[in-house]
Amino acid sequence: MDNYPWLKNYDKGVPSTLQPYPHKTMINVVDESWKAKPYRSMFFFKGARLTYDEFVRLSDALAAGLVSMGVKNGDRVAMLLPNSPQRVLGFHGIWK
């Protein structure tokens, strides 16, 4: 495993594997971080900062909006956004 060429570019202390791999969803991971440090920055993007608390509130609002439009568990939701915090927020709200 340690012979992958990209591993030599990892910063000191960054593991080469996630083993043991945590059996968690992204919702679980974000919620744990939010509960531990809600006002810690989750994103810095184009000079703006978004905290975990802001991210969770916005993704909850998106999830509630989708439910109010009749979207149910198992429905497909399309999203077309560039790589940005809005895209991550969109995925998170849809997954909820």
Contact at 8 Å (CB) between 96 and 65?
no
- Residue 60 structural domain: 27-95
Beta bridge partners of 44: 49
What type of residue is 90?
A: G
What type of residue is 50?
A: L
Alpha carbon distance 54, 41 (integer Å)? 9
Per-residue confidence (pLDDT) for residue 2, from 0 to 100: 61
State the average pLDDT for the chain: 92
- Quick one: what percent of the chain has pLDDT higher than 70? 98
Structure confidence by residue, pLDDT tens digits, 18-54: 787 778 999 999 999 999 999 999 999 999 999 999 9
CATH number, position 71: 3.40.50.980
The predicted model scores a pTM of 0.74
68 domain-assigned = yes
Beta bridge partners of 51: 41
pLDDT band at 13 (very low <50, low <70, confident <90, very high): confident
What type of residue is 29?
A: V
18 domain-assigned = no
